[in-house]
Structure 1
């Protein structure tokens, strides 16, 4: 029951973060909803498994940021530099908004985390608030319109695919050494999902070039 609740509220929070990072840069998140939901569900499961291993709890936020960068680069098809900027900007904005919610609703972040129910309430209220903010941003056309194509690397699809493959090897070693087989499985599925989109995009671009 605890694992289900953790995943459910983490997924809600993750969708809020995704919507915010997209709309800040005037990107409609709805066309990518189902792909994002699939990835965020796997991210939530991985976060739970990593947090259950106290020695690896610090990897959860790092892996989530990294996976969001891969998602924006492969599924949304933004350049790698742009994907990093979009993800980090979205996470920063989310952290600021969540801190504001904490200061208004809870006495402190420590108090919100001291009772599990408070933590779930914080995740839900954050997701709802950020969802509304994202909706208003997109409806009113407020946000950045940077052209990240200018910073796209040559053969970036190959760079992204190689990076994903190296990250998979790196985390395989870490998780293998800690014998976290279930997390290794779900992490492999997630990165394979990104590899599929990266390779598909590269093939599509190659076909267009030949045509």
Structure 2
């Protein structure tokens, strides 16, 4: 009983750190100030971490965790920051994809120390990987915001032809591809798909920014 409670608390603590860094990156990429949204971010991080625990540990369907987390973040953006729903999903996925790419790079560069098998076998290694990803991502996010980097276009203005349709279709394709590569557990394929998705998100954001 005590061990189960300790495992739950550890999962929630380190998961919350990771969730906070992830949302910080999402907000920084699109020029939202995180210090003005602590309550929405805190609530979202708690819900993300709790559902992550339930899906991973209780229901054994970890493949759904990133998709559900992206939906939670997009709901936060829509409800609290008034971002249109299609753009909220786009922004959430862009930040999430960037975060996972960073984590895969760290894992790959560890020469097996943080391989998928090693992380699954050792709670300590899993928590350490979360910290090693979350800390630099958070400081990168702060740097981006402090330097005025990122995208700041008006989400409510439709500047591109068939913008809503393009975003919805692209989000669906990314979600389906994301789910497939997570299910396949092929890290190289995952990295290729995520890099392609990130390239698209950045390309489309740059085009949208230039139309302002």
Q: Give the distance between the partners of 1:128 and 1:113, measured in 2 at CA.
A: 21
1:110 aligns with 2:117: yes
Please point out which of 139, 143, 167 is paired with 2:146: 139
| Deviation, structure 1 residue 151 | 4.4
Q: Give the distance between the partners of 1:42 and 1:27, measured in 2 at CA.
A: 21
Partner of 1:60: 65
Partner of 2:42: 37
Partner of 1:78: 83
- The count of residues paired between Structure 1 and Structure 2 equals 152
Q: Give the distance between the partners of 1:12 and 1:110, measured in 2 at CA.
A: 22
Which entry has the higher C-alpha Rg, 1 or 2? 1
| Deviation, structure 1 residue 76 | 1.4
Contact 1:81/1:148 (<8 A) preserved: no
- Deviations along 1:56-98, one digit per CA (max 9) or x if unpaired, are 4333222211111111111111111221111000001101111
Q: Give the distance between the partners of 2:135 and 2:97, measured in 1 at CA.
A: 17
Partner of 2:135: 128
Q: 1:139 to 1:49 in 2, by over 3 A?
A: same
| Deviation, structure 1 residue 106 | 5.0
Q: Give the distance between the partners of 1:89 and 1:125, measured in 2 at CA.
A: 20
Contact 1:23/1:143 (<8 A) preserved: yes
Q: 1:110 to 1:55 in 2, by over 3 A?
A: closer
Partner of 1:7: 12
Q: Give the distance between the partners of 2:79 and 2:158, measured in 1 at CA.
A: 16
Contact 1:79/1:151 (<8 A) preserved: no
Partner of 1:168: none
Which TM-score applies when normalising by structure 1?
0.67
| Deviation, structure 1 residue 104 | 2.7
Q: Give the distance between the partners of 2:136 and 2:119, measured in 1 at CA.
A: 17
Runs of at least 5 residues in structure 2 that lack an aligned partner in the other structure = 1-5, 160-212
Secondary structure of the residue aligned to 1:77 is: coil
Secondary structure of the residue aligned to 1:3 is: helix
Q: Give the distance between the partners of 1:86 and 1:8, measured in 2 at CA.
A: 25
Give the CA RMSD over aligned residues. 1.8
